[in-house]
Amino acid sequence: MPPVEIDASALPPLGMPPADFLRDYWQKRPLLIRNAFPGFVSPIEPEDLAGLACEEMALSRIVSHDRDRDHWRLRTGPFREDEFPGMPHQDWTLLVQDVDKWDADVAALLDCFDFLPRWRIDDIMVSFAAPGGSVGAHVDQYDVFLLQAQGRRRWQIDASESPSLTFRRDVELKLLQRFSPTHDWVLGPGDMLYLPPGVPHHGVAEDACLTFSVGMRAPSAAELLGDFVDTLAAEADEALRYRDPDLEPPRDPAEIDVAAMNRAVEALNMLRMNDPERLGDWFGRFITLYRSSGEVIAGENGRSRIEIEWDLQHGARLVRHPWSRMAWRKGGRGSRLYVNGHAIALPARAAARVANSRVLDGDDYAALGQAGQDCVFELYRTGHYHLQMDADGDDGGNGATWWPEDGSGQ
Ligand code: SIN
Ligand code: CO
């Protein structure tokens, strides 16, 4: 049985080669990773999180617990700045979703998770908890890496075979009626707890603390089917229908016979659901759009191609919009780059380079080749890349700096 706890000081962030982690733990069993990020210093402060929770576009919640009455209260943001100084000294948590889209330093942490496909990662949620603060014992449907960023949090988990999963009816939050922990740890800065889906857990702040949850996306089978069928249906030719030129006089006019059912299957097959190219193309578009709560909208990207290329040759960089999600795929009919639900035909090398480049400098751009450069300029025009004139983040005066002032782009 692989151990449930490891010290990663010598091999951060997992304490083992990624292949071993994926084989033994990923989607299978929890792992407490001490020193996953040795000497970790949180890139944001609780005040930054509170500031973000006041933004219209940010998804934020406050969960408070009245211990005496075991009463839970959930409030959703945006919150007013003047609400925070008056908050109690204990037993509440502020949670903000998608902090990686708002803060470049938080987003940079995702590079440490490149042992997973990037399109599997949903967001980094950050929580601030006052001492005693918690969101109660619960289960999540998705894998999560809970990185302790500041202060200490006590995590209890139930790693037993078949934990009890009945929920309390008296609370708005999906809290477990019974929780019997099998493990109990206090995590400090840099420690990280990996939980596969379905493991009951309960995290209580020992002192005021920040926790980063790197959460995964995993569409349900029903979502996948629904979206795929919608896509096929939207593209289908109306002339493709149930047909029966071979019809013979029915034995019983009310009966749906075997021949009729075969024809129904034939009509469904006309949609070419099994065609790997259509399936691949749909999945690339679906997964780069799935669960995205922000949108990329073209802004003031008014520079001409010649100007952009001149700027890139003179130290400017193209920086990807935080809500822009990319993936690529080698298909039977050529490679495709997928960008927020769109498919772009591109040679495999260029597609891979663009998909992996959050930032492109002049050399990166030059190495893309003609098709890659055409594609990047189009992505710049449509808002997926933004020109940054120098390393300090000066944007050359076109007025749009995404980080850290405005992560929304909406
Ligand atoms: C938290 O950060 O308080 C909750 C995270 C979780 O349990 O998934
Ligand atoms: Co959870």
Report CA(69)–ligand 2 centroid distance (Å).
23
d(CA 15, CA 3): 12
pLDDT for position 123 = 96
Within 6 A (CB) of ligand 1 lie 93, 127, 129, 135, 140, 144, 201, 203, 211, 213
Please tell me whether residues 292 and 265 are part of one structural domain: no
The atom of ligand 1 lying closest to the CA of 135 is 3
Type and span of the H or E element at 228: helix 221-235
> Is 64 in contact with 87 (CB distance < 8 Å)?
no
Phi, psi of 154 (to 5 degrees): -95, 120
Q: How far is the CA of 127 from the centre of ligand 1 (A)?
A: 7
CA of 408 to the centre of ligand 1 (A): 23
Would you state the pLDDT for residue 29? Answer: 97
Q: For position 254, what pLDDT does the model report? A: 98
The last residue of a domain, from among 275, 296, 320: 275
| HSE value, Cβ hemisphere, 13 Å, CA-based, for 206 | 14
- Torsion angle in degrees (nearest 10) through CA of 91, 191, 100, 395: 120
For residue 381, report the distance from its CA to the centre of ligand 2, in Å: 39
Nearest CA to ligand 1 atom 5: 213
Query: Closest ligand 1 atom to the C-alpha of 211?
Result: 2
How confident is the model at residue 406, as a pLDDT? 40
pLDDT score, position 132: 98
Considering the domain architecture, whether residues 307 and 265 belong to the same structural domain is answered as no
- β-bridge mates for residue 126, sequence order: 96, 212
CA distance 339 to 64: 39
> What is the domain count for the chain?
3
Q: Which ligand is nearest to the CA of 145?
A: 1
pLDDT for residue 398 = 39
Per-residue pLDDT for the chain (410 aa), expressed as one digit of tens each?
999 999 999 999 999 999 999 999 999 999 999 999 999 999 999 999 999 999 999 999 999 999 999 999 999 999 999 999 999 999 999 999 999 999 999 999 999 999 999 999 999 999 999 999 999 999 999 999 999 999 999 999 999 999 989 999 888 889 999 999 999 999 999 999 999 999 999 999 999 999 999 999 999 999 999 999 999 999 899 999 999 999 999 999 999 999 999 999 999 999 888 899 999 999 999 999 988 888 898 876 678 999 999 999 999 999 999 999 999 999 888 999 999 999 999 999 999 999 999 999 999 999 999 999 999 999 999 999 999 987 555 554 433 344 433 444 33
**What one-character-per-residue DSSP string does 82-127 give?**
GGSTTS-SSSEEEEES-GGGT-HHHHHGGGGGTTS-GGGEEEEEEE
**Boundary-marking domain end, from 275, 291, 317:** 275
Ligand 1 atom at minimal distance to the Cα of residue 144: 8
Same domain, 114 and 156: yes
* Residues 330, 405 within the same domain: yes
Of the residues 213, 214, 216, which should be mutated to test ligand 1's pocket, given the most ligand atoms within 8 Å of the CB?
213
Q: How far is the CA of 167 from the centre of ligand 1 (A)?
A: 17
Strand partners, 327: 338
Of the candidates 115, 182, 179, 105, the one whose C-alpha atom is nearest the C-alpha of residue 149 is: 105
> Do residue 145 and residue 235 come from a single domain?
no
Question: Any idea which ligand is nearest the CA of 203?
Answer: 1
Residue with CA at minimum distance from ligand 1 atom 1:
127
Same domain? For 269 and 281 the reply is no
Domain co-membership, 208 together with 82: yes
Distance in Å, CA 126 to ligand 2 centroid: 12
Sheet holding 153-157, edge to edge: 183-187, 153-157, 201-205
Residues 180 and 285 in one domain: no
Ligand closest to Cα of 147 equals 1
Give the distance (Å) from ligand 2 centre to CA of residue 139.
6
Pocket test of ligand 1: the residue of 49, 72, 125 to mutate, having most ligand atoms within 8 Å of its CB, is: 125
Structural tokens at position 51: 């500031």
pLDDT score, position 410: 34
Using the mean position of ligand 2's atoms as its centre, give its distance from the Cα of residue 196 in Å: 10
The enclosing domain of 209 has a CATH number of 2.60.120.650
On whether both 270 and 280 belong to a single domain, the answer is no
Q: Ligand 2 center to residue 136 CA distance, Å? A: 9
Are 69 and 94 in the same domain?
A: yes
**Ligand 1 test: best mutation among 174, 211, 216, most atoms within 8 Å of CB?**
211
Among the candidates 216, 242, 266, a domain finishes at: 216
Residue of 92, 93, 134, 135 to test ligand 1 pocket, by largest number of atoms within 8 Å of CB:
135
Give the number of other Cβ atoms within 10 Å of residue 125's Cβ.
21
What pLDDT does residue 409 have?
38
Q: Do 241 and 349 share a domain, yes or no?
A: no
> Are 383 and 263 in a shared domain?
no
* Residue numbers of the domain that contains 257: 221-275
| Domain of residue 384, CATH code | 3.40.366.30
